[in-house]
Amino acid sequence: MAIAEYYENEKSRFLENCIQCGLCAQECPILSYTEKAEDDASDIQAGVYAFLESGNKNQEAYTKAFACMECFKCTADVCPQDLNPMLINELIKRDYISKGLADKAYGDAALPDSTHRVLASVLVSASDYEKIINPIGEKRARFVFFPGCNVYFQPEKILSALDIMDAIGDEYAYVPGLDHCCGDGLMFLGDISEGGRRSEDLVSTLSTY
């Protein structure tokens, strides 16, 4: 199943099953710092449901989705209907952006001036930086190490992992996490179609090893 199709199925499942209890909004640690701090959690969730049902913007849905800090607290067995509130936030952001109700604004780790690259380049030496942004090994390697992008905010962890793999001695390949993307960051920010495309590209790349 394509990722976009999966999201559409989850949207339908949400509209069929959400009881607007507000437990996910109640669990959210960031909403209390927004203009919705005094609102009842069930009212916030009612706004979320109304937006996904009708497509008409409201502040409850906007704030719940765009304020999300991806802490995952709302996904820890909170929903009595076994729904994923963070995925619902991603759907809201997608619909807001696609309808022109919000700007598409996110950092792409693949760009030369991305936050990931800038921070990594100043946190380690020039030679170590080159090591973590360039591929290592041949495509017939037994193991493939793909670190993703977030760990570039702590690049010393990539270097430590590479040292461990060198010490183990098995043949491995290293696929940098900035030139290749799992798509999660893009989907979190509402660009589900591009996130899905990049995840498929990553699987294709890794499957060549």
Average pLDDT value for residue range 3-12: 91
- How far lies 157's CA from each of 81, 83, 106, 178, in Å? 38, 34, 25, 15
Q: Could you tell me the residue ranges of all domains in the chain?
A: 3-98, 115-206
**Confidence label for 53 from pLDDT (cuts 50, 70 and 90):** very high
Q: How much is the pLDDT for 32? A: 94
Sign, CA dihedral 184-75-80-55, equals negative
Q: Which amino acid is at 132?
A: I
Q: How much is the pLDDT for 66? A: 92
- How far lies 162's CA from each of 13, 22, 128, 167, 197, in Å? 42, 44, 11, 9, 28
**143: β partners:** 172
Q: How much is the pLDDT for 186? A: 81
What are the φ/ψ torsions at residue 94 (nearest 5 degrees)? -60, -45
Please give the model's pTM, rounded to 2 decimal places. Answer: 0.77
Strands 172-174 and 143-145 turn out to be: parallel
- Over residues 105-124, the pLDDT tens digits come to 666 888 888 899 999 999 99
